[in-house]
Amino acid sequence: MSASSLHLLVLAAGNSTRLRTGHPKALLDLCGRPLLSYILSHAEPLQVASKTVVLGGNHIQAITSWLQGSEYSDWSIALQENPRGTGHAVQCALEQLPDEGRVLILCGDTPLLRPETLQELVKHGDALMTARVADPSGYGRIQRDDDGNLTAIIEDADTDEETRLINEMNAGVYVLDLAALRAAVAKLDSDNAQGELYLTDAALEVLTERGGATLCLEDGEEEIAGVNTLVDFSEVVAVMRWQILEAHLLAGVIIDDPSSTWVEHDVSIGPGTRIRPGSVLHAGVRVGKDCELGPYVRLRAGAVIEDGALAGNFVEMKNSTLGAGAKAKHLTYLGNTTVEEFANVGCGTITANYDGKKKHPTVIGSRASIGSGTILVAPVKIGAGATTAAGSVVTAGKDVPAGTVVAGIPAKPFSPKS
């Protein structure tokens, strides 16, 4: 199948009823990215055609706003009003999709699904993804004949005592011919336990008529896990968190206690860096090689730790750079700050970067020494090799020249008595 004939539909109209958060499930943050971002990323290696449709419901405005500010392009939004099941969802989305080709249908709440699995699925043309699980409760069951051929997809609400025992479940991932799908969903009725229009009925018709395949993940319970409740979410978080940590460990990052270390998506860390327990690294952080972090360091968006630098216990950084070989070892906040190479930031230092309206920069020059308990009121610059005495308050605009010593509140040049 050529890439030009494959389109993407993401079903993201969930109203968070079971999550109980009041916010769109598709935008629930998972390790620094919303669920929807993972789903869209799954399909990127497939190089689908330019038509990507995201189906939204009551939260469509929030989803649209996020998409507009995201890295993704060539998408359109479809609206499902008064939802009447997954078949109705596809009916609403088909208005935005081309007449011909195939469509890859993904659920908006399965962030652990691997791109490699999708690549294998689309090789089969019209296809359905299934998985064998220990407990299929809540999921549709896959019914086969004695020869292993697909005969039915039975929604959980419609199972009987016998079909409830089937451990092969519907993963909710399909590749279907668009023309055949249009014809099938047009004939759907709601004669079922939930009184809804089932996509499974239409998918079964397309797959049966066109000789479609199934891709069964024999150990796929973790990969196809969906987020329906916050209990589900916590389980997915645990898996994703370990996947991220494992990738860093395999790349040469020393993590003393993975169980207490939080590293989000889109964090780069150089080999030889050691992360002590209790540390938190948010999305967008960049750390060089041979650094030391923590324990209990918090690096927020825009934090950059250059090679050989040290950010120690209870240090927080945001939109700041700690230069090569520089140290901030204890109880320090660096916001909108550039600390140049081999500077030393003493315990309890605070960069007061916010004046109530705007945030301002602080620059600490190379090999400068910031005494314990210093407050640097931005905008301000501490020159190369300069020193602030313990407890100093350097006020905004009162830059400290290179090589000088200041002390006091407000800080002034210091000349020791002879």
Q: Which residues contact 234 (CB under 8 A, 6 or more apart)?
A: none
Whole-angstrom distance, CA of residue 348 vs CA of residue 373 = 5
Under 8 Å between Cβ of 313 and 337: no
Q: Which residues contact 285 (CB under 8 A, 6 or more apart)?
A: 264, 267, 268, 299, 300, 301, 302, 303, 304, 305
DSSP 37-68: HHHHHHHGGGT--S-EEEEE-TTHHHHHHHHH
Residue in the structure block whose two tokens are 């014809």: 183
Q: Is 139 exposed, middle or buried (0-12, 13-18, 19+ CB in 10 A)?
A: buried
Beta bridge mates, 132: 168
Residue in the structure block whose two tokens are 């460990």: 249
Active site residue 330: yes
From the candidates 23, 124, 330, 360, give the one annotated as an active-site residue. 330
Give the residue among 137, 133, 52 at the shortest CA–CA distance from 98.
Answer: 52
The residues annotated as belonging to the active site are: 330
